[in-house]
Amino acid sequence: MTETYFEFGTPADRWDRAQLFFEAKEYTTAVRILNGLVEEAPEHQGARLLLARAYYHSAQLGRAERELRTLLAADPVESYATLLLGRTLERQGRNDEARPYLRMAAAMSGDFAELGPSAAAR
């Protein structure tokens, strides 16, 4: 079995490469690299979050949702994953499901304006 560019190198090399592709907006290539990293080290929350973001930006919303729910099951107070899950659900037209996640993300960030006028008074 030969290694391709995407699988070549140490996990740290591949992590750096995935970040470069993500920053270059080459989301599907980043996904290809990150899938291997997450498979190797499922506990690597940073890789899983970047994978979810790459899925989101490449309109693979079901896959983004799956990764985000996995992240939140392991770390329920991961505020960016909470926000992104809300946005992912919203982008799928699932506004009622999205609302609690978006409100939670707003509360976590201290953005009480997002919560409505009564929340600021509490």
- pTM score, two decimals? 0.85
Q: Show the tokens assigned to 120.
A: 């600021």
Q: Using pLDDT thresholds of 50, 70 and 90, give the confidence band for residue 121.
A: very low
3-state class (DSSP) for residue 96: helix
How far is residue 86 from each of residues 19, 26, 83, 93, measured CA to CA in Å?
Answer: 23, 23, 5, 11
Amino acid at 77: V
User: Position of tokens 């592709």?
Assistant: 21
> What is the structure's pLDDT at 111?
74
User: Position of tokens 């999205």?
Assistant: 98
> What is the structure's pLDDT at 77?
93
Residues 103, 79: Cα–Cα separation, whole Å: 11
Fold topology of 1-108: 1.25.40
Residue from 56, 57, 18 nearest 37 by CA = 18
Residue from 47, 40, 35 nearest 74 by CA = 47
Q: Show the tokens assigned to 9.
A: 């190198």
Mean pLDDT of the chain: 89
Could you report the per-residue pLDDT of 23-47, keeping only the tens digit for each?
A: 999 999 999 999 999 999 999 999 9
Residue 3 clears pLDDT 70, i.e. is over it: no
Domain ranges within the chain, ordered by starting residue: 1-108
Determine the Cα angle at 59 with ends 86 and 66, to 5°.
55
Residue 120 clears pLDDT 60, i.e. is over it: no
CB 58 within 8 A of CB 31: yes
Q: Lowest-confidence range among 8-17, 29-38, 53-62?
A: 8-17
Residue 82 clears pLDDT 50, i.e. is over it: yes
Find the mean pLDDT for residues 88-116: 88
> What is the structure's pLDDT at 9?
86
